[in-house]
Amino acid sequence: MKTKEMQIIRPPCDLSCEVVNIKLTLDQDLSELLPYINREVEKARFFPKGPFTKFVHQGHNVTIDHDNLAMTGFEDDTAAREFAAQMIDMLRDIEARKDSITPQIKPFEPPSMLAILRLLPGKNGCAECGYPACMAFATALCREETTPDACKPLALLPDGAARLERLREMTA
Ligand code: SF4
């Protein structure tokens, strides 16, 4: 597995924005490797209809789509290049161990927003979670923009601990 082309991308935004993204074009299509990556990488999300896979590693979003490997959120070019090299090493390692890995073909299923909403206390307007209403908080949980623990009233319910645990499982 080798890099054919590398692009350092700076998203168009305000001048104070220093975020650097990096995209590699590889010399091979990784589609067949995706179920193995799905098994090996924690919280990998496999989308068989692409096919493509997404995951977060060390705080950076990684997307593998055919022969493209895209990674986001670096402070500079050097950090982006180092992380990309690390990802290539990881993918080579998975490829080398492929025969001993059971592929995971289960597609990613996002949590149901309504199921999340049903577990929240429904104290709309208390906004202790930082969102104006439980619906907005549930939406943010689905988008992984917050965590269940941010809803403080939840822990005060008689079955709060169980609800919190269920929410953690659904949004993990
Ligand atoms: S803190 Fe909890 S109960 Fe209050 S608005 Fe947010 S999600 Fe609803």
58 Cα–ligand 1 center, Å = 29
- Residue 46 to residues 31, 124, 126, 137, 166: CA-CA distances in angstroms? 11, 34, 36, 25, 22
Instruction: From first to last of the 172 residues of the chain, give the pLDDT tens digit.
Output: 999 999 998 876 655 567 889 999 999 999 999 999 999 998 898 988 889 999 989 989 899 999 999 999 899 999 999 999 999 999 999 999 999 999 988 888 878 889 999 999 988 789 999 999 999 999 999 887 889 999 999 999 999 999 999 998 887 6
Secondary structure class of 167 (helix, strand, coil): helix
* CATH architecture, domain defined by 113-171: Orthogonal Bundle (1.10)
Find tokens 């995951």 and name the residue. 55
Domain coordinates in residue numbering, the chain: 3-100, 113-171
Q: Ligand 1 in contact with 120 (CB < 6 A)?
A: yes
pLDDT for residue 25: 97
Candidate of 119, 120, 152, 156 to mutate for ligand 1, largest count of ligand atoms within 8 Å of Cβ? 120
What number does CATH give the domain 3-100?
A: 3.30.310
Q: Which contacts qualify for 60-63: CB closer than 8 Å, 24 or more apart? A: 62/87
Maximum C-alpha span of the chain: 58
